[in-house]
Amino acid sequence: MNHNRIVCFDLEMCCWNVDGVGTTGEIIEVGLAEIDLVRGEIVKRAQYYVKPEHDEVSLFCCELTGISPRKIEKQGRPLAAVLKSIIKNFGGANKIYASWGRDDLILAKECADKGLEMPFNEFINLATLYRIQNRLKDKRIGHKAAQEAKGIDWEGRQHSGYVDAHNLAKLALTML
């Protein structure tokens, strides 16, 4: 286990907004940004589009994430192929993975539903760690708000897995 490297990741899923109620489905994007804690910097980034087996990208989802059905059709790959790439390029179970919230549970459920193994074992929920470090107790705070509260500029379009993972890596470097 490499404790000097943390892989920050963010998932985007198929999503719908019906009568003000948001629901999500299968994963359509995985963004990753690896940090080196010794060097104090982001050392690697990647973005993978996932072709859903049962869902489709809605207009709401396209507007929220910027991910179009055409992009998924052209660049998307099955989740199994994406997980193999993540393991190959980021070390899989040899690294600790982190997200803002419980993206690990979302990924674990989809892996279980599709008969796939999780690409990692060790996980850190940075939202919980942030609340503990900043004595926020039961108060929830979004990733962007937490980052801005620490004086770290947000770069890029929110709800892009690639952008969100990069921003999370910048925040994580101040927390770990």
The pLDDT of residue 140: 85
Domain range enclosing 143: 5-175
Q: How far apart are CA 71 and CA 93, in angstroms?
A: 29
Q: How many domains does the chain have?
A: 1
Instruction: Give 19's pLDDT tier (boundaries 50, 70, 90).
Output: confident
125: helix, coil or strand? strand
pLDDT digit string (tens) for 121-174?
Answer: 999 999 999 999 999 987 889 999 999 999 999 999 999 999 999 999 999 999
User: Whole-angstrom distance between the N-terminal and C-terminal Cα of the chain?
Assistant: 17
Q: CATH code at 21?
A: 3.30.420.10
What pLDDT score was predicted for residue 40?
97
Mean pLDDT of all residues in 24-38 = 97
pLDDT(70) > 90: yes
Residues 6+ apart with CB under 8 A from 46: 31, 32, 85, 86, 89, 90, 162
User: Helix, strand or coil for residue 65?
Assistant: helix
